Amino acid sequence: MHGASMIGIAISILWFLVFLCILVGIGWVILYVLGQLGIPVPPMVVKIVLLVIALLCLIWFLSMLAGGVGALPGIR
């Protein structure tokens, strides 16, 4: 029983890392495309976007650890 819960934890952490990579990638692509279109993106806006991404990931990770209901299975 203990081994199954460890596997569940490992899978949850891997899903979180996949989610993190996708979210950071989407944010980076948006900022990159805006820069390529010639729209100046102030450094403060970049910091705010990265902060929002970090907060979303932190909230999702903490809810996963608490066993909350999310889009992906959490640690039970």
pLDDT in tens, 9-54: 778 788 888 888 998 899 889 888 988 999 888 989 889 988 988 8
DSSP string across 37-74: TT----HHHHHHHHHHHHHHHHHHHHHHHHT---SS--
Q: Compute the distance between CA of residue 76 and CA of residue 73 in angstroms, rounded to an integer.
A: 8
Predicted structure pTM score? 0.65
